[in-house]
Amino acid sequence: MIEIYEISYKKKATVLKALYPFIPKPSLEDEMYDIHANKKFIVKEFLVAREDGMNLLVSPYYFESGGSVIDWEPVDPKE
């Protein structure tokens, strides 16, 4: 079973800081690329899924492609 948490925008920065496993941590306004969905998104669009007893930071395309935070790549602002 997978649960999706509803997170208010006010709390998104705190949740991102707690769950994002890499350094540097992106800002909510940064653009990322989900390598499984082959689509870009703004970090503030992330979802938190509860799966197998763990909270997972996932892309907004999670339900179509399964992409989690390990599948995100920063988008070069020059693109």
The Cα 38–Cα 74 span in angstroms is 13
pLDDT score, position 72: 97
pLDDT score, position 64: 93
pLDDT score, position 79: 63
User: Which pair of structure tokens corresponds to residue 47?
Assistant: 């979802």
Three-state SS annotation for the chain: CEEEECCCHHHHHHHHHHHCCCCCCCCCCCEEEECCCCEEEEHHHCEEEEECCEEEEECCCHHHHCCEHHHEEECCCCC
User: Which pair of structure tokens corresponds to residue 54?
Assistant: 């763990």
pLDDT at 78 over 80: no
Q: What is the pLDDT of residues 13-64, one digit of tens each?
A: 999 999 999 999 999 999 999 999 999 999 999 999 999 899 999 999 999 9
Has this prediction a pTM greater than 0.95?
no
